Structure 1
Amino acid sequence: MTGPDHQPDGAAHRRRPDRERKPAAFRLDDARVRLDSDAHEALTRGETRVVPTGGSAPRPAAATPERSPRSVSWGRWLTVGLGGLASLAIGLSIDALIRDLFARTDWLGWLAVALAGLAAIALLGLILREVTGLLRLKKIDEIRTSLTASAEDDDDAPARAGLRQLIALYRERPETARGRRALADHLGEVIDGRDLVILAERDLLKPLDARALRIVNDSVKRVSVVTAISPRAVLDLAIVLVENLRIMRRISALYGGRPGVFGFLRLARHVAAHLAVTGGMAAGDSLVSQLLGHGLAARLSARLGEGVINGLLTARVGIAAIEVCRPAPFIAARGPNVSDVMGELFKGDPEAQALLQEAKAAPPGKD
């Protein structure tokens, strides 16, 4: 319905175009309210006209996002072309080598054929391993997405389906037998989706989380100590890079990933994206912010050199790898953070522990 049109004393009254009439409420059964569509008939004193509009205004159609024209991926075509040429060159070289060996003597030719067949079988095995690794990583991502949605919506149907996939993922892991049995019992007793995910986190994934945190702690200690005594910055960079790649592979294997070369590259890309989203060096972590803000890192670096900063970077990469490789979200339990790893790093150093306690106790704005 349209808004009321009030005309005092029955006289036609036109509103000034620059003045807006304030909204008002009327009862439709009031005798002073007239429901008609004749907007030209004069009203008496105190009457109000409400004119039906014949339906609500049509809603504007949702704007369809314009699709940007797809550009030709010249880099991809270049890679395909060069890869095809390299494959042809290798094949022709092997063929020429086998022919030359047959021309010399038959047994050398047959030996070359056997070695070429062995190489072909090994190549096929590598391809199958890469495909299997990519499929396992994709399955873990799907399980995590399903469990995250079911925990947010408290829906038991997708939670049960995702947890059955989780049990199947670890069915060949003897150390998870107890957790798998407990989780299978919960599937027949608990009806809330969020509670099922929390129980899976407690019974099945908690031991794996503890092992993953130990992997991160060991890597952080190794990086901190080795880079502290390393005489060259290039050597420090190589050590940090190798250790970060190693920690990603170990954590992925722990949670059931077992990626190949291409799967590992995909995993590294996901970890890098996660680090970019969460702020790189954990800028939001209060303990790290206070540690750097109070200048305590410089005091600690007198004992460990640049190993502390390298250890922080490794810790952040390890924590990102845990969150990316873990097949379920952190719901009830708090995920590991840089403060936990730092506390373990300086566990045996009383002076460092005192500095950390000072950073925790001091106000964030105090220098």
Structure 2
Amino acid sequence: MTETPRKPTAFRLDRIRVVDDPDIAHRPGDRPVVIAEPEELDLPAPVPKPRRGPRWANILVSALGILLSLGIGLAVDQLIRDLFQRAEWLGWFAVAVAAIGLVALVALAIREIGGLLRLRRITKIREAADDAARRDDRIAARASVRDLTALYSERADTAHGRAALELHASEIIDGRDLIGLSEHELLRPLDAAAQTLVLSAAKRVTLVTAISPRALVDLLFVLVTALRLIRQLGQLYGGRPGTLGFLRLARTVIAHLAVTGGMAAGDSLVQQILGHGIAARLSARLGEGVINGILTARVGIAAIDVCRPLPFIAEKPPAMADFIAELTKLNAGKGGKKPEV
């Protein structure tokens, strides 16, 4: 059944009745009725995280680390005692060297802890911004933008973006649009630099592995390039990871790759990504170079998703098709005539 449309009516705002029951709006009355909107949105309940038991691997590594530290300490103590027995000046020299080493160890520990805390801070900003954009919460979005601005407050290359964001942030009402504005002003130049790093690393891997005579050299070069790319992307987006932070970042990137589909290898990858026409025209070595370059680009895209302090909302995320086109063009030029698709 279709309801008969009501005729336009003029009324005073002070005569409006605000009610919660929709049935009241259909009852006859001399005063216009407005149905109040619910104050809270019916959001789906968050999925509870599974409870984890003790991580025995971490306990084992910690116990072995403590034993190793005690062993090194006892060895240094015994060495200093032996040097004192041989000559007093040698003992004091060993004490001075040990003190310098201890200061360096403390400095390294502080740097590693700072790197880990910075990576955790970026992760929290990204999660909070993703939640604010999903709920379109303006207050939460403003808090995320403040945290993002504080993260890049000491970087001169973001000064223009921070100034533009501060100028226009007060004009944005929706939380999702505010996150998008932050993306455009602060992260767009960094995204362009990140894609340049990924493409450069993929091209380098493609060329080197295409002319390399040994598979072991290919494997080592791809591994070193991928790890270096992860560190560069982490530093670009403000992570500045140390050794422990880099290992954690690399583990997170690998886990992200596994969640988003993993990495394939072999002729099937060439057929799926490059197409049968191109794969049939490329030589075996050039095909292997393309595969290694594509895998490197895949690692780079995953690293961007992990290192970026905001999710891709307003900006276009990097796509494998862009890198594949460049790598195919590169190999077509190396192989002679450009293949026809």
Do both share a fold (TM > 0.5)?
A: yes
Q: Paired residue for 1:99, among 81, 85, 88? A: 81
Q: How does 1:1-367 map to 2 (within 5 A)?
A: 70=53, 73-281=55-263, 290-302=272-284, 304-347=286-329, 349=332, 355=339, 358=341
Q: Over residues 245-273 of structure 1, what are the superposed CA-to-partner deviations in whole Å (9 max), with x where a residue is unaligned?
A: 00000001000001112211211121111
Greater relative contact order structure (CA < 8 Å, 6+ sep): 2
Higher Cα Rg, which structure? 1
Q: Over residues 102-156 of structure 1, what are the superposed CA-to-partner deviations in whole Å (9 max), with x where a residue is unaligned?
A: 2222221111111101111111111111111111111101111111111121111
Aligned to 2:45: none
How far off is 1:300 after superposition? 2.5
Confirm or deny: 8 A CA contact 1:98 1:112 kept in the other structure: yes
SS at match of 1:122: helix
More divergent stretch after superposition (319-328 vs 188-197)? 188-197
Q: Which amino acid in 2 is paired with 1:212?
A: A
- Which is helix-richer, 1 or 2? 2
SS at match of 2:238: coil
Structure 2 CA distance for partners of 1:200 and 1:282, relative to 1, 3 Å: farther
Cα distance in structure 2, aligned partners of 1:204 and 1:98: 54
Confirm or deny: 8 A CA contact 1:140 1:257 kept in the other structure: yes
How far off is 1:295 after superposition? 4.9
Q: How does the TM-score come out when normalised to structure 1?
A: 0.73
Q: Which amino acid in 1 is paired with 2:228?
A: R
Cα distance in structure 2, aligned partners of 1:353 and 1:126: 53
Confirm or deny: 8 A CA contact 1:282 1:338 kept in the other structure: no
Confirm or deny: 8 A CA contact 2:271 2:279 kept in the other structure: no
Cα distance in structure 1, aligned partners of 2:257 and 2:157: 30
Confirm or deny: 8 A CA contact 2:274 2:324 kept in the other structure: no
Structure 2 CA distance for partners of 1:179 and 1:352, relative to 1, 3 Å: farther
Structure 2, unmatched stretches of 5+, are: 1-47
Confirm or deny: 8 A CA contact 1:186 1:196 kept in the other structure: no
SS at match of 2:171: coil
SS at match of 1:241: helix
Structure 1, unmatched stretches of 5+, are: 1-64, 359-367
Structure 2 CA distance for partners of 1:297 and 1:280, relative to 1, 3 Å: farther
Q: How does the TM-score come out when normalised to structure 2?
A: 0.78
Confirm or deny: 8 A CA contact 2:116 2:244 kept in the other structure: yes
CA root-mean-square deviation:
2.7
How many residues were matched structurally?
290
Structure 1 vs Structure 2: percent identity of aligned residues? 58
SS at match of 2:207: helix
How far off is 1:84 after superposition? 2.3
How far off is 1:346 after superposition? 3.9
Confirm or deny: 8 A CA contact 1:228 1:304 kept in the other structure: yes
Confirm or deny: 8 A CA contact 1:157 1:193 kept in the other structure: yes
Confirm or deny: 8 A CA contact 2:252 2:306 kept in the other structure: yes
How far off is 1:168 after superposition? 0.8
Confirm or deny: 8 A CA contact 1:282 1:288 kept in the other structure: no
SS at match of 2:314: coil
Q: Which amino acid in 1 is paired with 2:236?
A: L
Q: Over residues 325-358 of structure 1, what are the superposed CA-to-partner deviations in whole Å (9 max), with x where a residue is unaligned?
A: 0001111222111111122234454689964x72
SS at match of 1:197: helix
Confirm or deny: 8 A CA contact 1:288 1:339 kept in the other structure: no
Cα distance in structure 2, aligned partners of 1:234 and 1:289: 24
Cα distance in structure 2, aligned partners of 1:234 and 1:80: 33
